């Protein structure tokens, strides 16, 4: 498909942590945006926040993304879709609490695009490294060819007794697979005019611009970072990360670059800045936290002893999407400035 450099983009779950940055970055790059939210109340903050962009931003209410046809009206007249809406938490008892909205929300918006998105040229889906990873006691470096069959098998075998992490990871794996299956099934139909690109980030961190009343209301990833900086003993372990602003830019580049989309899962992209130990974040933020008692300091330098069992290759995103990832110091500075500005 050719590159998309302008036009209107539908963003699902538009009031979410990642999604608001996606909306903002799209607007900054000259696109118009239709943001889908579950209620008019959730849209008011966005309407106010993006007021400087005038009629280039609009809100549409989609109360339940799992209902067949939920996006039928929302997809009309848009040139592209950014599907970011999917639950991220570890509280589900029944796996269906995560699987249903993740899978049905994804296939539902694709079905709406197939039937009514006559001007849609590309759909970008926000997946996750949760759909790539697997747990091992050996060090491994994974790429876009890897899939998390481990979590899917655990949920299939254990059901409600599967670990909370496996339930979430299975939901992302199954939803992304469903997206690729969908386009492969329908790509040769007359009038099927769009292709697919998938973003696979690890832990997403960075400044918060969505509607949030207090740190207690933060989503899973943002809360993990906040607690690492502010809660004694929370900065243990590690993982892999990406700045939310780089992830948002990746979503935009996935529209702007023709070769970023297609019909095979070779058009999935790991969006990852690198690996970390939580102590590394405390150290990176030291220039902005050393004079403050509210931020944890941990044991400076101890992050070097952390063994990274799981890392990801990001060369594909650098080559195709032309990403230049922020450093940990860049992100740490922005995060601390954000907390301070909010009075947290």
Tokens standing for 200?
């696979």
300 in a structural domain: no
- Contacting residues for 317 by C-beta, under 8 A, at least 6 apart: 250, 269, 270, 271, 272, 323
pLDDT at 90: 65
- Contacting residues for 30 by C-beta, under 8 A, at least 6 apart: 5, 6
CATH number at residue 50: 3.40.50.720
* CA contacts within 13 A on the Cβ side of 304: 4
Reported residue count of the chain is 344
83, β-bridge pairs: 12, 125
238, β-bridge pairs: 277
263 in a structural domain: yes
**Which residue segment(s) compose the domain that 53 sits in?**
8-205+242-272+313-325
- Whether the Cβ atoms of residue 35 and residue 60 lie closer than 8 Å to each other: yes
76 in a structural domain: yes
| Residue 85: pLDDT band with limits 50, 70, 90 | confident
Cα 34–Cα 36–Cα 39 angle in degrees, nearest 5: 130
Tokens standing for 264?
């095979």
pLDDT at 89: 63
Sheet containing 195-200: order of strands: 57-61, 32-37, 8-12, 80-83, 122-126, 195-200, 268-270
pLDDT digit string (tens) for 169-207?
999 999 999 999 999 999 999 999 999 999 999 999 999
pLDDT digit string (tens) for 222-281?
999 999 999 998 888 999 999 999 999 999 999 999 999 999 888 999 999 999 999 999
> Residue 87: pLDDT above 70?
no
Tokens standing for 274?
């690198």
pLDDT digit string (tens) for 98-107?
888 889 999 9
Residue carrying the six token digits 């947290």: 344
Across 49-73, average pLDDT: 96
227 in a structural domain: no
Q: How many domains does the chain have?
A: 1
pLDDT at 134: 93
User: CA-to-CA distance for 227 and 237, rounded, in angstroms?
Assistant: 13
pLDDT at 2: 75
63 in a structural domain: yes
78 in a structural domain: yes
Residue 38's φ and ψ, nearest 5 degrees, are -80, -20
- Contacting residues for 68 by C-beta, under 8 A, at least 6 apart: 108, 111
344 in a structural domain: no
333 in a structural domain: no
């Amino acid at each position: 498909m050719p590159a998309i450099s302008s036009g209107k983009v539908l963003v699902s779950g538009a009031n979410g942590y990642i999604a608001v940055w996606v909306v903002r970055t799209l607007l900054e790059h000259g696109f118009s945006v239709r943001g889908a939210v579950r209620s008019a109340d959730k849209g008011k903050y966005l309407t106010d926040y993006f007021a400087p962009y005038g009629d280039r931003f609009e809100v549409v209410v989609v109360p339940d993304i799992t209902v067949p046809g939920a996006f039928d009206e929302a997809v009309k007249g848009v040139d592209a879709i950014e599907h970011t809406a999917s639950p991220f938490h570890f509280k589900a008892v029944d796996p269906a609490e995560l699987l249903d909205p993740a899978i049905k929300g994804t296939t539902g918006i694709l079905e709406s695009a197939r039937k009514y998105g006559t001007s849609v040229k590309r759909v970008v889906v926000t997946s996750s490294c949760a759909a790539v990873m697997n747990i091992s006691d050996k060090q491994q470096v994974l790429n876009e060819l890897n899939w998390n069959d481990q979590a899917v098998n655990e949920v299939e075998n254990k059901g409600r007794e599967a670990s909370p992490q496996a339930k979430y990871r299975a939901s992302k794996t199954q939803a992304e697979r469903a997206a690729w299956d969908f386009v492969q099934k329908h790509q040769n139909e007359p009038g099927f005019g769009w292709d697919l690109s998938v973003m696979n980030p690890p832990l997403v961190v960075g400044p918060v611009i969505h509607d949030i009343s207090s740190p207690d209301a933060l989503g899973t990833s943002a809360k993990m970072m906040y607690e690492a900086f502010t809660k004694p003993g929370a900065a243990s372990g590690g993982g892999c990360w990406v700045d939310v602003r780089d992830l948002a830019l990746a979503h935009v580049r996935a529209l702007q670059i023709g070769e970023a989309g297609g019909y095979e899962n070779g058009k999935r992209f790991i969006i990852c800045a690198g690996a970390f130990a939580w102590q590394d974040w405390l150290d990176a933020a030291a220039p902005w936290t050393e004079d403050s008692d509210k931020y944890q300091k941990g044991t400076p330098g101890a992050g070097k002893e952390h063994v990274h069992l799981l890392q990801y290759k990001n060369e594909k995103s650098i080559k195709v999407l032309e990403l230049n990832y922020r450093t940990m110091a860049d992100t740490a500075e922005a995060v601390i400035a954000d907390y301070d500005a909010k009075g947290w």
